[in-house]
Amino acid sequence: MTIKIRFLGGADVVGRMAALMDAGGRSIMVEYGMSPTKPPSYPLPAPKVDYAFLTHCHLDHSGMIPWLVSRYDNDVFTNPLTAEISEMLMYDSLKIAKAEGYPEPYNESDIERTMGNVIPMEFGDVIEVGELEVHMHSGGHIPGAMMFEFIDDGRSTLYTGDIHTINTRLVAAAKPSKCDNLIIEGTYGGRLHPDRKKTEKEFLEKVKEVIERGGKVLIPCFAVGRTQEIMMLLNGTPYDKWLDGMGRSISKVYMQYPEYLLNPNALRVARRSFNEVKRPQMRSKARKGEIIVTTGGMLDGGPVLNYIKNVKDDPLSAILITGYQAEDTNGRMLLEKGSMNIDGNIEKINCEVQRYDFSAHADHEQLIRFIHACDPENIMIMHSEHREPLFEDLSGDYNVILPELERTYEL
Ligand SMILES: [Zn+2]
Ligand SMILES: [Zn+2]
């Protein structure tokens, strides 16, 4: 039996993932996301599906699942942690749509219905849908991130979602698994991360330097994963540390699911070493602190803008960027032009700005190593705007497919 796969989004872009599969007599949507750009962009409308499988909570993978459920009332297979954080992100994206005047692709009750349709799975579980056997593996990208291995008539297809293949402070690395077909993300095709330990060391040295010269350190972070990774890194530093934004509530949720963390105790201890901004009134106190970790990873929204006003004209202070800055975001403008949009005005940022690579994705060499260890016959590369370098390095040894949107492939 072959497996048919057709991308309705996310084949050649990082965002709006949607992989429609026809396997074991069932129609399955693996991820149905949206790109939270301005305005947001969506995958193509999906035909009726029997099931959805969700790898992880990031909106570019999860954001349109309620649209699917509102039409087809399908079951959603994922783990409880992913479901809980997806729910928070889905509500948040509706809030943003309302505030910005974007069309809302679904409503609150569709999110509720989606959560009611979740069939909870854990790593290591094996389930049967139709004639298909599905194994759940850890993806190492963020806590709860899953890879799905679909086995149809003895032939296995591993769908990775987003993966990282090194241990970070927060999660254990994804482990390769022998398969016939490998559908793998290629975000960092052709690019390498600097050594993680070295990056961590440089980051901590910069924090120390800025505080010793009398400045403040502002660290904008994605709420999911990056905030907690940075908190754990800063644990043990003797500074007055503050935490603000959605990263705070996500950290709380993580503590309820210690089984998804590499070292739950380290996060517990790190949380205790931070003061939390529980009410907006507490921000004036936080501004007097030495380190502020806050949500608004791309500097576009969230409490980060409050703090930027505080440091932007102080040459002793620094903004330390810890994540990828997408096009058309304030963060990208800051890195490229040294200015930002603050309350509708483009303003020059006069404090120090540095960028550190704490990526949660495998880089080119890590992907190649992972792929060799899976030793598949066919490879399909998705979730990437840099697929050619991977194609070049792999096509001598494997049948490598760079899927096009809307085209059906049989594996
Ligand atoms: Zn992701
Ligand atoms: Zn992604």
Instruction: Calculate how far, in angstroms, residue 334's C-alpha sits from the geometric centre of ligand 2.
Output: 23
Q: Tell me, in angstroms, the distance from the centre of ligand 1 to residue 403's CA.
A: 20
Nearest to 139 by CA among 155, 162, 116: 162
Distance CA 401, CA 111 (A): 35
- CB 33, CB 10: distance < 8 Å: yes
Residue-range domain boundaries for the chain? 4-191+360-410, 196-355
Per-residue model confidence (pLDDT) at position 38:
85
Residues 45-76 pLDDT 10s: 999 999 999 999 999 999 999 999 999 999 99
Asked whether the domain spanning 196-355 has the same topology as the one spanning 4-191+360-410, the reply is: no
Tens of pLDDT, residue by residue over 99-118, are: 999 999 999 999 999 999 99
Position 276, amino acid:
E
Q: pLDDT per residue over 10-23, tens digit each?
A: 999 999 999 999 99
| Local confidence band at 24 (pLDDT 50, 70, 90 cut-offs) | confident
Query: 318: which residues sit within 8 A by CB, 6+ positions away?
Result: 206, 210, 215, 216, 217, 218, 311, 351, 352, 353, 354
* pLDDT, tens digit (0-9, with 9 covering 90-100), for 225-267: 999 999 999 999 999 999 999 999 999 999 999 999 999 999 9
CATH 3.40.50.10890 assigned to domain 196-355? The reply is yes
CA of residue 58 to ligand 2 center, whole Å: 7
> Mean pLDDT across the chain, nearest whole number?
97
pLDDT of residue 203: 98
Ligand 1 center to 152 CA (angstroms): 27
Per-residue pLDDT, averaged over 311-331, amounts to 95
CA 252 to CA 217: how far, in whole Å?
A: 23
Distance between CA atoms of residues 24 and 2, nearest Å? 9
- Portion of the chain with pLDDT greater than 70, in percent: 100
Omega of the bond prior to 176 within 30 degrees of 0, cis?
no
How sure is the predictor about 178, in pLDDT bands with cuts at 50, 70 and 90? very high
Distances in Å between the Cα of 327 and the Cα atoms of 36, 71, 78, 360, 402 are 12, 32, 30, 19, 23
Q: How far is the CA of 139 from the centre of ligand 1 (A)?
A: 10
- The CATH superfamily label for domain 4-191+360-410 reads Ribonuclease Z/Hydroxyacylglutathione hydrolase-like (3.60.15.10)
pTM of the model: 0.96
**What element of type H or E holds 354?**
strand 352-355
User: H or E stretch including 76?
Assistant: strand 75-78
CA 89–ligand 2 middle distance (angstroms) = 14
Predicted pLDDT of residue 25: 86
Rounded to the nearest whole angstrom, what is the distance from the C-alpha of residue 163 to the centroid of ligand 1?
Answer: 8
Three-class DSSP category at 22: strand
CA of 332 to the centre of ligand 1 (A): 19
Supply 114's token pair.
């989606």
Q: What is the pLDDT of residue 327?
A: 86
Give distance in angstroms: CA of 146 to centre of ligand 2. 12
pLDDT bin (cut points 50, 70, 90) of residue 328 is confident
pLDDT at 2: 87
Which pLDDT band, with edges at 50, 70 and 90, does 302 fall under? confident
- How far away, in angstroms, is 349 Cα from ligand 1 center? 29
For residue 16, count CB atoms less than 10 angstroms from its CB and return exposed for 0-12, middle for 13-18, buried for 19 or more.
buried
Q: Which ligand is closest to the CA of 323, given by its number? A: 1
Is the pLDDT assigned to residue 293 strictly greater than 90? yes
CA–CA gap between residue 384 and residue 391 (Å, rounded): 12
Which ligand is closest to the CA of 56, given by its number? Answer: 1
- Decide if 129 contacts 28 (C-beta within 8 A): yes
Model pLDDT for residues 346-358, shown as the tens digit of each residue: 999 999 999 999 9
